[in-house]
Chains A and B, each alone.
Chain A
Amino acid sequence: MANRYSLWSLLKNGLKHNESWQPAWRSPQAKPRYDVIIVGGGGHGLATAYYLAKNHGVKNVAVLEKGYLGGGNTARNTTIVRSNYLWDEAAQLYEHAMKLWEGLSLDLNFNVMFSQRGVMNLGHTLQDMRDIERRVNANNLNGIDGVVLSPKEIQDIVPLMDISAKTRYPVMGASYQPRGGVARHDAVAWGFARGASELGVDIIEQCEVIDMIIEDGRIKGVKTTKGDIFADRVGCVAAGNSTPLAKMAGVRLPLESHPLQAFVSESMKPCLDTVVMSNAVHGYVSQSDKGELVIGAGIDSYLGYGQRGSPHVIEHTAAAIIELFPSFSRVRMNRQWGGIVDVAPDACPIISKTKVKGLYFNCGWGTGGFKATPGSGYVFAHTIANDEAHPLNKAFALDRFNTGHLIDEHGAAGVAH
């Protein structure tokens, strides 16, 4: 069914007035039984299904999505991709994802518009700069690219930034990961959906899981708004809504769901060709291929599922961006949104088995899940297929909150939280 996208297919379909394109993925009815059910049709869930089919030959898979495909956080983020994390476990997980990103468009035959335009994390205090030096060195030891930039070097890359000493928090330097960048978020969901569908995965939209069917401590299936669907293995990838899902199975998670807001400006001529992040003044900005400035910052402090936050958070974010780029002060903002992020106590994901046999959770990505999309799906597919963690996600098991082996990226990496 699927079209193979190429210059030739563009030409051929163009000559037919583009009326013969086929849908990129099938929309089948749910079967009563599958080998694996993935709950959550966002980027991570679709990637999991894709790698289950591609790497592990598990093709009798359903992805259940309560809304529409990629309509949650996949469509509600600022699309930044980087792997410059401090601790070995996190660095290796995100770097693995980065390597998948680098070949993803080719692998999926779908242009995810991955643009390695570099990611800059600014330092504004002496301590910031010490942390940056430490992190860049740790990254280099882990084989991850990264350099420390002086203000002069920053100015060469981003002429618009105000690096003068007269600002309230002068820019003292930055870490820079040239391989970091951005990708088109929707295309990532669509590309994985298309790839998975082609391999036989059923993607069921408008199908909400309302309960889990568990017998003798073993998962048997899920109750949904479209009836019961059975499977011996169920993987949950529901971001902000992970806790309500886990509750159905009697599993407790160490997560808090918070709104994370972001906004985009009207389109402008190209003015910023890298990603700029600052934890100290707290904001991050990049320019999309359409020319919009894509701006984000921290979470709203309170617990919330409402996919919206408070205006003062936007105000603080805008203030931080204008501190760095005074010339953006007259730019008009077009759209604003909030996604619900599931924040773990150590700002690291949970990719884990649970006490219910056959039930797996992939959650806790907090504010930084998008960058890991392919890697997250890759290791979660491995975990589900083998009932055992991949070496890359072994450290990210749920039991680390009992043993105390946390991976404290919260205070460490360039995590803008």
Chain B
Amino acid sequence: MFQIHCPHCGATREEEEFSYAGEAYIPRPANPEEATEAEWGDYLFMRKNTRGWFWEQWQHTAGCRKVFAVKRNTVSYEIAGTWTLAAGKELYLKESEA
């Protein structure tokens, strides 16, 4: 059990108020008409499933119902921070470049 801070309504609540919404920032094929089967398969099904620090999405289901980004360690379950999807994406992209 952990507590999650919702960046939209500003509340820190127990995990049970939230729903898990999987890996964050999976890019959709830029040109869907021309994407191959392999590219579609990759987009739809393949996952990073990272062991360690991981960018993921949670939804505040029992609160404001908005989806946001969480950076969480999948081994220690420690949370580094939560951001709106837009704010988190900048950080995420900066990290992926590094």
Interface residues of A (CB under 8 A from B): 241, 243-244, 252-257, 301-306, 310-312, 345, 401-404
Contacts and interface: CB of A to CB of B under 8 A. Distances in A.
A254 B46 contact: yes
A311 B16 CA distance: 10
Chain A to chain B: the 8 pairs with minimum beta-carbon distance, closest first: A402-B41, A254-B45, A243-B49, A301-B20, A252-B46, A401-B45, A310-B1, A401-B41
Given A301-B19, A312-B16, A345 B54 contact: no
Interface in B34-79: 37-38, 40-42, 44-51, 54, 56, 72, 74-77
Given A241-B51, A301-B20, A253 B46 contact: yes
B41 A243 contact: no
A404 B45 CA distance: 10
A214 to B, nearest CB: 19
Contacts of A401: 41, 44-46
B17 to A, nearest CB: 11
Contacts of B23: 303
23 contacts: A243-B48, A243-B50, A253-B49, A254-B41, A255-B47, A255-B49, A256-B47, A257-B51, A257-B74, A301-B19, A303-B20, A303-B23, A303-B49, A303-B56, A304-B77, A305-B51, A305-B75, A306-B76, A306-B77, A310-B2, A345-B45, A402-B40, A403-B41
B58 to A, nearest CB: 8
Contacts, number: 68
Interface of B: 1-2, 15-16, 19-20, 22-23, 37-38, 40-42, 44-51, 54, 56, 72, 74-77
A247 B20 CA distance: 24
A403 B37 contact: yes
Contacts of A303: 20, 22-23, 49-50, 54, 56, 74
Contacts of B51: 241, 243-244, 257, 305
A402 B49 CA distance: 18
Nearest to B42: A252
Given A256-B22, A402-B37, A306 B49 contact: no
Contacts of B45: 254, 345, 401
A243 B72 CA distance: 18
Contacts of A253: 46-47, 49
A40 B70 CA distance: 31
A318 to B, nearest CB: 15
A310 B47 contact: no
Contact of B56 (A241, A302, A306): A302
A304 B79 CA distance: 12
A305 B53 CA distance: 11
Contact of A243 (B19, B47, B76): B47
A396 to B, nearest CB: 14
Contacts of A312: 1, 15-16
B51 to A, nearest CB: 5
Contacts of A243: 47-51
A337 to B, nearest CB: 16
Nearest to A310: B1
Contacts of B72: 302
A315 to B, nearest CB: 9
Nearest to B46: A252
A198 B15 CA distance: 49
A252 B76 CA distance: 24
Among B22, B23, B47, the one with the most A-chain Cβ atoms within 10 Å of its Cβ is: B47
A64 B78 CA distance: 30
A253 B49 CA distance: 9
B38 A311 contact: no
Given A253-B49, A255-B49, A257-B49, A306 B75 contact: yes
A227 B22 CA distance: 36
Contacts of B22: 256, 303
Contacts of B54: 303
A254 B23 CA distance: 12
Given A243-B51, A303-B23, 5 more contacts: A255-B47, A306-B77, A311-B1, A401-B41, A402-B41
Contacts of B48: 243
